Structure 1
Amino acid sequence: MAPDWRSISLWTTQIDDTFAPRPSLESEIDVDVAIIGAGYTGLWTAYYLKTRAPQLRIAVLEAETAGFGASSRNGGWVIGGLLGEDRLVGHLAEPRRRESWALLHGIPDEVARVTSAEGIDCDFRKGGMVYCAARYPEQEVRLRAYMASLYQEGLSEDDFRWLSPAELNQEVRVSGALGGLYSPHCATIQPAKLARGLARLVEGLGVMIYEKSPVTHWHSGKIRTASGQVKADWVVPAVESFAGSLPPSGGTSLGRYQLPVHSLIVATEPLPEDVWAGIGLTRGQGFGEFSRQVTYGQRSCDNRLVFGARGGYRFGGRIRQDFTLTGDEIALRRRLFTDLFPQLKDVRITHSWGGNLGMGRRFRTHMLIDRRQRLALAGGYGGEGVGATNLAGRTLADLILGRDTLETRQPWVIQDRPVSEALRPWEPEPFRWLGYNAIMRSFTNEDSVLADPRTPPWRRRMAQSLSERMEALMTWKIG
């Protein structure tokens, strides 16, 4: 049964698009670059390749329809950063460190430049992001420690600034606020508008997009689908969390290096202006409360509260196909946002959805080129892919074109090493499933224990200690 686009997320219900699939690949074609996957990574890569080398013949093969995956399901934060950036940039000497931070922080502005110049209306608003310490005092301690670590990496108040409760209220008014951390390096968007707009844009530039064309076989220089074949000088598997769904190539399965985990989101009915007057978020800020539940939210352009939190993992790295959220999944997100905004306890939740995201074993983003195999890929965004994919697209384009640029000289770029040597594989099952669930249960326990003011100090310390130990286990030998 064909997926119903209108049930994918709030975002897809808001756009005027039939979502009719483009034609499938039904023949043999010969191109310079074949991209597998029409999500943000694939579409940004196609865009920068085509604008920098218009003569290139580029084809994109998509198993479903452009933007069907995480690109139309995410929370809409365009973050000027990457997962694991501190470990990657922190060891660099000046001025390289400053150059790297400037490159990362410039991601939202580059997205704004392209979408403005190319006429993609995706509700872009650069309002920054706010992390709140509100639900328990330990959040303030952890958030201040996080800020201190950023300053040690060479960042300043221009990048991350502590907010007193009164200052936090100028951004977002949360119940029981102890303070917060603000960064200007973030924008919010309407994700489906960006995904569908990018697809139309690259198609207009001459990129061929074939939909309903899942790849059945691929290796260096050749891709097969059920009814077609592509010969290509370069292959770009832009599949991120769907890496496990791609057949192995040359004995290597990309699914060993990209673990699919879920994030789940709810959206309220449109809220009246008097309610928003008591909440804030007037400039399109992204916000979250600083706990290991990894919460995030924004005020949509039609005045809904969009709010998400960490989801789960399925045994064997199986992709979750059905994102009809359970009552418990919705209830958790309602509890988390009503802890912050008690005035919303009775609002109606009109939409709930989720998506798969890719997590690398080293818990950091990678961009890789293997010139011997004529292969280029990026991933490991860990839920921060809306902005990271733009940088990945620029970087992969420059690597394929053989350009020596600031983008290609970054520590997250791996050149001329095969995937099997460049990336660390995840442990086999059942260790992944057991480990992930044990860690997530410790995080959930910590959150519930610390959020209860009646919890005695000894139990609070015990819950924190367990989570810290489990977090250390999760990142074991990440080097």
Structure 2
Amino acid sequence: MSDWRSISLWMDQLDEPLQPRPSLAAEVQADVAIIGAGYGGLWTAYYLKRRAPQLRIVVLEAQIAGYGASGRNGGWLLGDLLNAERLLAGLPAELRQASRRLLQAIPDEVAAVLQREAIACDYRKGGVLYCAARYPEQRARLQQQLQALRRAGLGEDDYRWLDAEQLAAQLRIAGGLGARYSPHCATLQPARLARGLARCVEGLGVQLFERSAVLAWQPGRLRTARGSVRADWIVPAVEGYAADLPPLGRYQLPVQSLLVATEPLSAETWAQIGLDRGQAFCENSRQVTYGQRTADDRLVFGARGGYRFGGRLRTDFNLGAEERGLRRQLLGELFPRLEDVRLSHAWGGNLGMARRFHPHMLCDRRSGIALAGGYGGEGVGASNLAGRTLAELILGGDGPLTRQPWVRGDAPLASLPRWEPEPCRWLGYNAIIQSFAHEDRVLADRHSPPWRRRLAARLADVMAGLMR
């Protein structure tokens, strides 16, 4: 591929020439070899070099920095981790609180790096709105979730309820019934962050080779088409691309998320919509819809896209009419004024999903492999935490970062829970997604009788339980 700007709106907006760096064409010796120049690999390289400048670090990227999910995502920088509350549930209250503060500080940690390294990526910390809009069951579910967060010890400073009027002061969404708001989230321009990090680590002395796909890997050695790397540590930072590096595909499956962006909207239109502080928003259905207002006044809007049999990666993200149509339909329902707005960009990407939906970070000292992944679509922030954690583990540290329930410490890759074999994965995924789509159709129809609404919601609850 050479038309790098067609990857996403974010890559198209870059004002730098997208000229790939040289490929690896020799045998190189390193202390740490990282596969992938996305957030996970670049953050790991950054924190390792900051703490141990003498380390020889090599990063191998199959395409160019930012080609994968790091240049395609929705631009949410969450101070959270997928399924964090479930992972923290077994900890004593004091440790639970400390772990939450660690997660909530992720946006501020990234902001500090951006300032220190002069990386401009439209960072704005405006919080996130989880909205109820299209049917009343969304409001009930959000309030139940808020009650559960309160029981877990999270207060008003972490999550608070906004009634319809308070929601409208931030976001005027059709039929807005209320929202759960958290301040622990920022939005940014993802590709500028990825490309800026790449330049930053190069400036620190990291060797970055692009168009250097890893064809074979084993402890201590990587091989590309024209070269190889010997290293004490191997860090496969591939997330949704784990299927390309057996046996990682047993532990992380690629799932697609698809997005659209409007043309820049007028000041008058934004005055009617809101989102004037860089807030992220999510319409609280199980279809996973999300969005943000960009620095150049577009609305970026996305929804989960699908899973391919056998965990095959999707490489063609020219969205079809049905894929664009669903996102336009949802966008029009939430913002009727935008029903006929021109969509300037449509794209998607592969994200990594771990079994039991638990993100993981581990460091196997016997084989010299350090790994993090399974972020489930929340990798912008999680990858920063992972980079810090893997650096700490590789350097032999033992502090708060390494003592978290999502960290397996000195554990082999085989200790991770595996996904079931096909066709179980494909059948299970599609059954679950169909139940979510059915629930959404039934609940969004105000004429659906109460018994049918209860049945659709109960079925979706049961199927959601299977994901755990």
Tell me whether the two structures share a fold, i.e. TM-score over 0.5.
yes
Please name the residue that 1:243 is paired with: 242
Please name the residue that 2:86 is paired with: 87
Please name the residue that 1:466 is paired with: 459
Give the 3-state SS of the residue equivalent to 1:68 in structure 2: coil
Aligned partners of 2:455, 2:122: CA distance in 1, in Å?
Answer: 44
Give the 3-state SS of the residue equivalent to 1:95 in structure 2: helix
Q: 1:474 Cα shift?
A: 2.3
The alignment status of 1:26 with 2:25, answered yes or no, reads yes
Q: 1:273 Cα shift?
A: 0.6
Aligned partners of 2:145, 2:359: CA distance in 1, in Å?
Answer: 20
Given candidates 408, 415, 425, the residue that maps to 2:409 is 415
Asked if 2 retains the 8 angstrom alpha-carbon contact of 1:83 and 1:384, the reply is yes
Letter in 1 for 2:463: M
Aligned partners of 1:211, 1:11: CA distance in 2, in Å?
Answer: 19
Aligned partners of 2:4, 2:222: CA distance in 1, in Å?
Answer: 27
Please name the residue that 1:9 is paired with: 8
The alignment status of 1:367 with 2:361, answered yes or no, reads yes
Q: 1:149 Cα shift?
A: 1.3
Aligned partners of 2:435, 2:27: CA distance in 1, in Å?
Answer: 52
Q: 1:99 Cα shift?
A: 0.9
Aligned partners of 1:229, 1:332: CA distance in 2, in Å?
Answer: 45
Q: 1:314 Cα shift?
A: 0.4
Q: Deviations over 1:8-60 (max 9, x none)?
A: 00001111122111111111111100001110000000000001100000000
| Farther off after superposition, 149-158 or 299-308 | 149-158
Please name the residue that 1:445 is paired with: 438
Q: 1:409 Cα shift?
A: 1.1
Q: Deviations over 1:158-194 (max 9, x none)?
A: 1000001111011111111111110000000000000
Letter in 2 for 1:447: D
Give the 3-state SS of the residue equivalent to 1:356 in structure 2: strand
Using the aligned pairs only, state the percent identity: 64
Please name the residue that 2:46 is paired with: 47
Asked if 2 retains the 8 angstrom alpha-carbon contact of 1:24 and 1:211, the reply is yes
Aligned partners of 1:10, 1:373: CA distance in 2, in Å?
Answer: 40
Please name the residue that 2:419 is paired with: 426
Asked if 1 retains the 8 angstrom alpha-carbon contact of 2:357 and 2:467, the reply is no
Q: Deviations over 1:79-101 (max 9, x none)?
A: 00101101111221132111100
Give the 3-state SS of the residue equivalent to 1:429 in structure 2: coil
Aligned partners of 2:326, 2:299: CA distance in 1, in Å?
Answer: 15
- Could you tell me which runs of 5 or more consecutive residues in structure 1 were left unpaired when the two chains were aligned: none
Listed as ranges, the matches of 1:120-269 within 5 Å are 120-246=119-245, 248=246, 253-269=247-263
Give the 3-state SS of the residue equivalent to 2:118 in structure 1: coil
- Could you tell me which runs of 5 or more consecutive residues in structure 2 were left unpaired when the two chains were aligned: none
The alignment status of 1:294 with 2:288, answered yes or no, reads yes
Aligned partners of 2:88, 2:230: CA distance in 1, in Å?
Answer: 38
Letter in 2 for 1:183: S
Q: Deviations over 1:298-343 (max 9, x none)?
A: 0000100100011100000000000011111111111112211111
Asked if 1 retains the 8 angstrom alpha-carbon contact of 2:356 and 2:467, the reply is no
Please name the residue that 1:116 is paired with: 115
Letter in 2 for 1:300: T
Give the 3-state SS of the residue equivalent to 1:362 in structure 2: helix
Aligned partners of 1:234, 1:241: CA distance in 2, in Å?
Answer: 21
Aligned partners of 1:474, 1:88: CA distance in 2, in Å?
Answer: 15
Given candidates 340, 345, 353, the residue that maps to 1:346 is 340
Letter in 1 for 2:39: Y
How many residues matched? 468
Asked if 2 retains the 8 angstrom alpha-carbon contact of 1:284 and 1:298, the reply is yes
Provide runs of 4+ in structure 1 moved above 2 Å: none
Q: 1:386 Cα shift?
A: 0.2
Listed as ranges, the matches of 1:333-412 within 5 Å are 333-412=327-406
Q: 1:116 Cα shift?
A: 1.0
Letter in 2 for 1:258: Q
The alignment status of 1:324 with 2:313, answered yes or no, reads no
Asked if 1 retains the 8 angstrom alpha-carbon contact of 2:78 and 2:186, the reply is yes
Q: CA RMSD in A?
A: 0.8
Aligned partners of 1:161, 1:3: CA distance in 2, in Å?
Answer: 46
| Farther off after superposition, 406-415 or 382-391 | 406-415
Aligned partners of 1:9, 1:465: CA distance in 2, in Å?
Answer: 37
Letter in 2 for 1:85: A
Aligned partners of 1:326, 1:460: CA distance in 2, in Å?
Answer: 31
Aligned partners of 1:355, 1:424: CA distance in 2, in Å?
Answer: 24
Letter in 2 for 1:30: Q
Asked if 2 retains the 8 angstrom alpha-carbon contact of 1:82 and 1:364, the reply is no
Letter in 2 for 1:364: H
Letter in 1 for 2:37: A
Q: 1:4 Cα shift?
A: 1.4
The alignment status of 1:275 with 2:274, answered yes or no, reads no
Give the 3-state SS of the residue equivalent to 1:51 in structure 2: helix
